[in-house]
Amino acid sequence: MLGELFHILAAAIISWILFVTVDIFFRLPEAGGVSGASAIARDIEAGGGALSGGTMMGNIVCSPDASAGTLLAACGVYVAGIPGGLVAAALVFIGNRICHDPGYAGTTGAVLATFVVYGFTQVGFAATDFIAGMVIAILTIQGLSHAHASRLLARLWRVRE
């Protein structure tokens, strides 16, 4: 029980680093992909947050990004191993096109996460640890404090620039 909790927390940290790195690499904080993402960013800024971090959070809401890719890839690896993860990546690609997202952050994140999650299942982790871990990781960005999360993302974005 305690071992599983430890695994979930470790998986959360790994997923967090993975999806934030991929999203920032694909320049999600730069501009809102749709007008709704920019509106969310303005509201987060009005609530005491940073605009570029808010833009990334708005983009995460409006289209499946690397965080969604990581979650669905972990789900895919859980139900069907590496082929499941790659099917998840294809579904994320379709999801991106449905949501008018021209980018490839979600698809890239899903493919990378498939191999990361599969690798960790070879060393004692379960794919379910990564499903729960990814939900915790997205909670820290989108669900606890928008002001603090957006400022942290803005700081990481400045490093990328």
Where do contacts with another protein occur on this chain (CB under 8 A)?
1, 4-5, 8, 34-40, 42-44, 47, 57-58, 60-64, 67-68, 71-72, 75-76, 78-80, 84, 87-88, 91-92, 94-95, 98-100, 126, 128-129, 131-132, 134-136, 138-139, 141-143, 146
Closest distance between another protein and the C-beta of residue 158, in Å?
21
Using the minimum distance from each CB to another protein, give the nearer residue, 17 or 90: 90
Using the minimum distance from each CB to another protein, give the nearer residue, 2 or 161: 2
Using the minimum distance from each CB to another protein, give the nearer residue, 129 or 161: 129
Q: Are 87 and 78 in contact (CB under 8 A)?
A: no
Closest distance between another protein and the C-beta of residue 159, in Å?
23
Using the minimum distance from each CB to another protein, give the nearer residue, 17 or 161: 17
C-alpha 37/C-alpha 43 separation (Å) is 10
Tell me the C-alpha to C-alpha distance, in Å, between residue 89 and each of 2, 70, 75, 105, 143: 32, 9, 11, 11, 25
Closest distance between another protein and the C-beta of residue 14, in Å?
15
C-alpha 61/C-alpha 149 separation (Å) is 14
Q: Are 69 and 110 in contact (CB under 8 A)?
A: yes
Two tokens at 126?
Answer: 């379960």
CB-facing half-sphere around the CA of 37: CA atoms within 13 A: 23
Closest distance between another protein and the C-beta of residue 21, in Å?
18
